[in-house]
Amino acid sequence: MSDTSPPAPATDAVLEPEPSEPVGAVQVRPARSRRTTAVKVVLAAVAAVVVFLAPAYIDAEYLTVANWVMVGAVGGMGLTMLVGQAGQLSLAHSFFALVGGVSYAVLAGPRDEASYTGLGLPSLLAAVLAVLCAGLVGAAFAPISGRLRGIYLGVASLSLVFVGFWLARELPSLAGSTSSGRYAPSLNLFGFDFGELHPELHVLNVPMGKVERSFWLYAALTALAYVLGRGALSGRVGRGWRALRDNEAVATVMGVSVVRQKALAFAVSSAYAGLAGVMVVWWYDGLMKPDESVDFGTYSTTAAISYLAICVIGGLGSLGGAVLGSVVVFGLPQIIQLVTSSDDYSGTGFTPGVITNFVFGSLIVLIILFEPRGLAGLGARLRAVLRR
Amino acid sequence: MDTLVQVLVNGVGKGAVFALLATGFVIIYKATETINFAHGSLVLVAGYVAYEVKSDHGWLLGVVAGVLAAMLFAFLVERVLLANARHAHADSLAILTIGIDVVVVTEISRRLGTAAAPFLGDPYDTKPIHILGASVARTYVVALLVALVLLGAFFLAFRYTSWGLAMRAQSENSEAAALMGIRSWRVTASAWAVGGGLAGIAVIFLATNDIGGGSGLLASHTLAFAAFPAAIIGGLTSPGGAVAGGLIVGLTDALASQYVSLEFAKVAVYLVMLAVLVVRPSGLFGRVEQLRV
Amino acid sequence: MSRNLTSCAVAFAAVAALGLSACSTKAADDSTGGGSGSGGSGSAGVKTDIGVTASEITLAALTDTSGVFKVLGLGITQGNQMWADDVNKTGGICGRKIKITTHDTGYSAEKAVPLYSKLKADNLGMIQLIGSPTLAALKKPLTDDKIAAIPASWASTNLDVPNVVMIGPTYDIESINGLSRLQSQGKIKDGDTIGHIYVDSEYGKNGALGTKYYASKHKMKVVEATVTSTESDLTAAVTKLKAGGVKAFLLTTTPAQTASAVGVATAQGLNVPIHGSGPTFTPQLLDTPVAAALMSGRYTTDAPQLPVQSDNPKVKEISAAFKKAHPGQVETYGPILGYASGLVWGSILKQACSDGDLTRAGVLAAVRKTTVDTQGLTPPLDFTKPGQPSSRSMFLMVPAKVPGGLKLVQTEPYVSPDAQTYKTPFQK
């Protein structure tokens, strides 16, 4: 829903170097922006109505998928800002999601559980603090991120995934046991609980259960993440990051503090990942469970690479693209699994799992082959065709 | 003492296999600036073809066919896919290789069906060798010797043949190389083929019970991930560094899993890598990038 | 701009129209299927809610036919289906035919969650649930939705709810039985040092629980080595055990890790008895370089169900049906376990039927009243004791070049006094 508003020129052109603004543009803007503001308000209202009514029409399993897509979208937006706008490659996004999830479980978890540490904070406060924690950990990576560039930075950050995997196993009282995990409460917003069925609620005669409620919550969080990201990118922060991306030396000469900008970019990006991590915990009905192996699972190297795939497929640096990328990377495998079935028990058959992987893998190859700027680039092309 | 000797020999043997993988990884990176996430797939393709051919035509033919198949596969990946995506960002190319990897892994495990743990086996007997009182599985020693010979041959070729010259010229400056008449596509495609070939050799050792452990072929795909830290530790632009990196990874892994814990071993490899990067941001032997204003 | 506004207005109108019509199909679905408990009554006057119609009972198999456990997943699913076919040939249960829907998770929890969300809308319960990450992710939803499921994992730490219907002994009991068998044979004695290599997960930790219990009762010292489930080279773990001077060791690992551990132990000259829990073996291991060591008699394993090579007439029937349906495929214990799972569901459904309540809640209540005779496929199963495994006996086996790769050590199921007195974590 956050894609329905037409992106402003400033962030639309993220892949090209920022065009220098013509002087005249300053006078044109106010008039133009008043109109676009009106359109935006209307569109946002429509989007809100659609989101409010959607759970009454969409089956629970597809809402579950939609919620998972929004987890990927929020995480992806954070990473695409770091990689596409600030030019810092990171393969640690799944680690920061783990930090967010564990922090939430510890902060919101009940105090009286024997085997798990919990502070029993209200869930909203815990979620906000968990996001902050993830951001701080991201900033703490500055001494290393400040020294490295490109693929070296990417693989260096990958080591955080390994460290996180190891720490989570060493500290089961915080992260939950690797076998059955630990449970954290769902979000309770001023008496309205997103995980419970109280108070009961019907929309169009359809009872709003956990999944339906979570859909509203996730849509709101995705919109919030999008709006905040847009704000950051179109302002001073975004300009600093792009200067960093285009040429560190020039940026330094221009008075941009490279180390501070890198730390800021990592902090913001990790905070987004932390929010995604909290959303993962809610998605699993409050279950926080570390992975059984570092290669596969929710916080694994595979997940880290998936977040990067979201950014590339969506179009590096584009926030709306991250949402589309997440539809492909997080959504598609689950959807194909839902709509296909097979009675082939030979072991070499084309089961739903096999088909899913084939479609997913080839789609990645095709998108990059034919639209290197990702789905955002495809969108830009479509718009250009329509305008003609 | 005998435990230490055993750990060291195992570490160096495993490291030699990682060195084969990392060297291929670095050559591919040098020629096409692509981080090849599908390196594990090159390993799998070779292993799968070798496994299929072996049953009818014996081990040696199987391995030869496997290595050739991996070279051909890598060559095709470069020619058919990467060559047609020239305008893509380097990160996009890396993600493209992930797409390839997903498809290859899925197809090969589908083809293997219920044959859960195929092994390539080895032509030499499995009796352990005794060195300084320690008993060491033969695979480690053979792997070390094969890697020494192969990497030696590769470095001679890299230094003294026209192919090696073209390779080095292109990675220095691809535009200048083109102006000098070096045909770029031959260099890039042959780099991929060599990377595939080295991965194909590596799988002979990875898909054994000694180095790869019990999952045989399928575990070798996961193990190939070690090429990453190995290549980074050595420095991505240095094939010699890749060999050093491979050995460091192998030794760190063996020592940490013996003297700390199996879980810590994988982390230890990455911690060593971080330590190296903090001191030398472009790896031990990597070329330090110069900033141009 | 005016065009934009127009399109907005159109969109608004469309949304409003949708809203006013209030014709959501979902609303209709939920009012008929939405678990009020008092729903329709079947032909026999039995109370029903979800997954049961007048002519059909639907059960789901949440399996893995493409991931790391596909060999097991395929086998169990085949057994489930064979049972359903047999039941339907003889008229079904409670006047209803059995229908099984299969769903492939690829051993991934994040794919299992939407699949569960889909299957819970029209399945009464689950005849199969593979994978401990999947069980962990679904345990709370299962409890909330009152759905009973037979997991293909045996950790006694999951027996806290009646929803988890586990067939046979749990991993901790396996360890205790395995060790006391070794001791009864004189391979180990009180005060010895023993080893245990296990996966650091629900599976392995539960196995280690039993070892610690047994060791404390017999004043033994345990050398533990933990591995992650994808670690395939167990050299370091075996070296650690060897350095600790173990007289025997247990494995609670994956089959691939069994191959590595047994191979490395042989290479290092650690020729002590090894007992592996049920999941440590698959017949494919006999095609690997460690086949000889596995068949030397040093390695024993166990299972809650009979092996493929058995004189039991039911097993022979299943095996023949399997060979006919899947010629050329390696035979595993999967179909036997799958068939036994079917028999368990059959008994539960019959109990619920005679209680006049085939709702989900009725099924859960029936579980606690059910004992099952699986025609000898497993030891007799008793689900009436909360928190306890349905059986503490298991079949002891050694690898052999026979169909299924295993043969019985003794025809009678084995249970040790220590295992009988052991108190499982949620035993009341």
Residue at C37 is within a domain = no
Q: Are residues C63 and C100 in the same domain?
A: yes
pLDDT of A12 reads 38
Residue at C225 is within a domain = yes
Domains by residue range for chain B, with CATH: 1-116+131-279 (1.10.3470)
**Above 80 in pLDDT, residue C306?**
yes
Residue at C414 is within a domain = yes
pLDDT of B123 reads 65
Domain span at residue C55?
49-169+311-368
A-chain residue closest to B271, CA distance? A159
The values of phi and psi at residue C48, to 5°, are: -135, 160
Confidence of residue C127 (pLDDT cuts 50, 70, 90): very high
pLDDT of A18 reads 38
Map tokens 């603004």 to a residue.
A21
Q: Are residues C289 and C414 in the same domain?
A: yes
Query: What are the residue ranges in chain B where pLDDT is below 50?
Result: 293
Question: Chain B within 8 Å of C243 (Cβ-Cβ)?
Answer: yes
Confidence of residue C194 (pLDDT cuts 50, 70, 90): very high
Nearest to C114 among A39, A61, A296 (CB): A61
At B116, list the tokens: 């859960």
- Residues 242-301 of chain C whose Cβ lies under 8 A from any Cβ of chain A: none
Q: Are residues C144 and C245 in the same domain?
A: no
Residue C363's H or E segment, with its range, is: helix C360-367
Question: Chain A within 8 Å of B279 (Cβ-Cβ)?
Answer: no
pLDDT of C301 reads 96
Q: What is the total residue count of chain A?
A: 388
Interval A373-382: pLDDT, tens: 888 888 888 8
Residue A233 C-beta-side C-alpha neighbours within 13 Å:
30
Give percent of chain A above pLDDT 90. Answer: 48
Q: Are residues C414 and C289 in the same domain?
A: yes
Region C22-26: mean pLDDT is: 54
Interface test with A, best of C31, C85, C110, C170 (most A CBs within 10 A): C110
pLDDT of C403 reads 87
Q: Are residues C176 and C287 in the same domain?
A: yes
DSSP of A278-322: HHHHHHTTTEE---SSSSSSTTSHHHHHHHHHHHHHH-TT-HHHH
Taking CB atoms and an 8 Å limit, are B214 and C264 in contact across chains? no
pLDDT of C25 reads 57
Residue at C17 is within a domain = no
Interval B10-48: pLDDT, tens: 899 999 999 999 999 999 998 888 889 999 999 999 999
Residue at C106 is within a domain = yes
CATH of the domain at C285: 3.40.50.2300
Residue at C296 is within a domain = yes
pLDDT in tens, chain A (388 residues): 334 344 333 333 334 443 333 333 334 445 556 777 888 888 888 888 888 888 888 999 999 999 999 999 999 999 999 999 998 989 999 999 999 999 999 999 999 888 899 999 999 999 999 999 999 999 999 888 888 888 889 889 999 999 999 999 889 999 998 878 899 999 988 878 887 777 777 788 778 888 999 999 999 999 999 999 999 999 888 998 998 888 888 888 888 888 888 999 999 999 999 999 999 999 999 999 998 888 888 999 989 989 999 998 898 899 999 999 999 999 999 998 888 877 777 777 788 778 888 988 998 899 888 887 888 888 888 888 877 6
Whether A72 and A27 have beta carbons less than 8 Å apart is answered as no
pLDDT of C389 reads 95
A-chain residue closest to C7, CA distance? A43
Q: Are residues C210 and C354 in the same domain?
A: no
At A232, list the tokens: 């950051």
Whole-Å CA distances, B140 to B6, B210, B222, C197, C256: 10, 8, 19, 23, 19
Residue at C220 is within a domain = yes
At C218, list the tokens: 């017999």
pLDDT of C262 reads 93
Map tokens 């491979």 to a residue.
B246
**What are the percentages of helix, strand and coil residues in chain C, rounded to 5?**
45, 15, 40
Question: Chain C within 8 Å of A282 (Cβ-Cβ)?
Answer: no
Give percent of chain A above pLDDT 70. Answer: 91
A138 vs C131, residue with greater confidence: A138
Give percent of chain C above pLDDT 90. Answer: 67
Interface test with C, best of B4, B9, B203, B209 (most C CBs within 10 A): B209
Cα distance from B129 to chain A (closest Cα, Å)? 33
- Residues 327-356 of chain C whose Cβ lies under 8 A from any Cβ of chain A: 329
Single-letter amino acid code for the residue at B3? T
Question: Chain B within 8 Å of C74 (Cβ-Cβ)?
Answer: yes
Which residues on chain B are in Cβ contact (under 8 Å) with C282? 116-117
Nearest to B103 among A150, A346, A358 (CB): A358
Q: Are residues C108 and C180 in the same domain?
A: no
Whether B171 and B155 have beta carbons less than 8 Å apart is answered as no
Interval C317-333: pLDDT, tens: 999 988 888 887 778 88
Question: Chain A within 8 Å of C66 (Cβ-Cβ)?
Answer: yes
Q: Are residues C286 and C346 in the same domain?
A: no
pLDDT of C27 reads 56
Q: What is the total residue count of chain C?
A: 428
Question: Chain C within 8 Å of B3 (Cβ-Cβ)?
Answer: yes
pLDDT of B39 reads 94
The domain tally of chain C equals 2
Interface test with C, best of B106, B127, B206, B257 (most C CBs within 10 A): B257
Q: Are residues C275 and C345 in the same domain?
A: no
Q: Are residues C282 and C404 in the same domain?
A: yes
Taking CB atoms and an 8 Å limit, are A296 and C108 in contact across chains? yes
Taking CB atoms and an 8 Å limit, are C330 and B128 in contact across chains? no
Cα distance from C71 to chain B (closest Cα, Å)? 5
Taking CB atoms and an 8 Å limit, are B219 and C256 in contact across chains? yes
Residue at C26 is within a domain = no
pLDDT of C227 reads 87
Q: Are residues C224 and C274 in the same domain?
A: yes
Helix axis angle, B239-259 to B138-160, nearest 10°: 160
Taking CB atoms and an 8 Å limit, are B232 and A156 in contact across chains? yes
Interface contacts A/C by beta carbons within 8 Å: 168
Q: Are residues C156 and C238 in the same domain?
A: no
Taking CB atoms and an 8 Å limit, are B117 and C70 in contact across chains? no
Interval C331-384: pLDDT, tens: 888 999 999 999 999 999 999 999 999 999 999 999 999 999 999 999 999 999
- Whether residue A199 has a cis bond before it, omega within 30° of 0: yes
pLDDT of A34 reads 73
Taking CB atoms and an 8 Å limit, are C118 and A338 in contact across chains? yes
Question: Chain C within 8 Å of B174 (Cβ-Cβ)?
Answer: no
